[in-house]
Amino acid sequence: DVKVTQSSRYLVKRTGEKVFLECVQDMDHENMFWYRQDPGLGLRLIYFSYDVKMKEKGDIPEGYSVSREKKERFSLILESASTNQTSMYLCASRPSRGKNSGANVLTFGAGSRLTVL
């Protein structure tokens, strides 16, 4: 019944390493999102995508990039990991917002906890 799958639940990386966080959804959703969650700061939006090969910066895109080559997959890339990127990363998806739609709820993955040493 899992609908949004994040490939790694826990990762430990070293400073300067390139890190890929993968997210796959099987609901044919157009929109996908990457958030990071830190205690006391809530969820902050890093990047989102509303179509294949399309991406939009969120509130904290610095130090991150994304890739969406296929509709079902949205990857978050840390080109050179730093200790301040130690965090929980949450991927989410939802269908595109129809004109009559209301809630259009996000479905979240289980999260990827990244530790950068």
For other proteins, the binding residues (CB under 8 A) are 31, 33, 35, 40-45, 48, 50, 56, 58-59, 88, 90, 92, 96-97, 99, 102-106, 108, 110-111
Nearer to other proteins among residue 84 and residue 100 (C-beta):
100
| Cβ contact 75:16 at 8 Å | no
Nearer to other proteins among residue 14 and residue 97 (C-beta):
97
* In the complex, minimum distance from the CB of residue 15 to other proteins, in angstroms, rounded to a whole number: 25
Cβ contacts of 25-28, under 8 Å, gap ≥ 24: 25/72, 25/74, 25/93, 25/107, 26/72, 27/3, 27/93, 27/95, 27/107, 28/71, 28/72, 28/95
Nearer to other proteins among residue 69 and residue 102 (C-beta):
102
